[in-house]
Structure 1
């Protein structure tokens, strides 16, 4: 089963006291303005309790794909390399990030 939405990280920036801002490509359904997500790095999976969307330009136009920015609260920049994937929390998916 594919995730409802998926975000491919291109760049990450630390925001002191908040977490990490990431910029990249979004595919799939609209990302909720605030909510949980899954961070996938090299097959490892980490639940991010709070993710906030900060650029909604393409979603406002009725499209659900394009460049957006997310804030991953409580996540260190070093944990989010380029190529990492942030995706929807799907209860039916297996625990790994391999697919």
Structure 2
């Protein structure tokens, strides 16, 4: 789980992470797909919850959606980024559950 947390933290890195680069207005479709794949490796939350895990994933779906207009250079990229945002939202919902 420690390696997974490290990779999730790296996703927010301004220079190399999918979410960090997105914050700077740079959309990398391959990195987006890799981030969705990374989320799929997270096991469902059980009795105990790592606050670091929640901190690193709960905000990501909204953040990605907010960056579409800023980071996508054309309609196709906007479509791809919206698809990734939906997949990230679904993955986080699967991990944390829906009330």
- TM-score between both structures, scaled by the size of structure 1: 0.25
Of structures 1 and 2, the one with the larger relative CO (CA 8 A, separation 6+) is: 1
- Per residue, is there more strand in 1 or in 2? 1
Q: Judging by fraction of residues, say which structure has more helix.
A: 2
State the structure with more CA Rg: 2
